[in-house]
Structure 1
Amino acid sequence: MTTITLKVSEADKKFMQAIAKFEGVSLSELIRTKTLEAIEDEYDARVADLALSEYEDYLENGGEVLNWDDL
């Protein structure tokens, strides 16, 4: 695994250490999982917004809405 250096205030470090202890994980694991979860959530939201926008454009240009029974 590679190492990434992260600069935080002493107060933030203590807070993150407390949360890591509370969750029973290492500080590294806490930062890794919470960061990746946040990035994935943001990515999913952007993809959903793009898909909705494309669908709305499709409908505005005469696209047909299908029912489940028609599929």
Structure 2
Amino acid sequence: MATITVRVSESEKQFLDAMAKFEGKSLSELLKTTTLENLENRYDAIVAEKAYEEYLVDPVTVDHDDLMKELEL
């Protein structure tokens, strides 16, 4: 497993420790889950925005049933 070092101020460390305790997690688990969830949400928002921009240029939609048939599901 890889290790990543993040430098924070003493007050930031105290806040992070308090948040970890508040959530009942280790500091490592808090930082890992919070960071990954935030990045995944950000990625999803960017992908959705790009898809919407593409839709505005060419507003073609596909009916759910037709899509399922096309995908043979």
What runs of 5+ residues in structure 1 fail to find an aligned partner?
none
Give the aligned length: 66
Please tell me whether residue 6 in structure 1 is matched to residue 9 in structure 2.
no
Q: Distance in 1 between matches of 2:10 and 2:22?
A: 18
Partner residue, 2:16: 16
Q: 1:56 to 1:9 in 2, by over 3 A?
A: same
What runs of 5+ residues in structure 2 fail to find an aligned partner?
67-73
The one-letter code of the counterpart of 1:51 is: A
Q: Distance in 2 between matches of 1:67 and 1:43?
A: 26
**TM superposition shift of 1:67:** 6.4
**TM superposition shift of 1:3:** 0.3
Aligned-residue sequence identity (percent) comes to 52
TM-score (norm 1): 0.82
Please tell me whether residue 57 in structure 1 is matched to residue 57 in structure 2.
yes
TM-score (norm 2): 0.80
Q: Distance in 1 between matches of 2:62 and 2:19?
A: 48
The superposition leaves residues 25-63 of structure 1 with CA deviations (integer Å, 9 ceiling, x where unpaired) of 00000000000011011100000000000111113xxx4
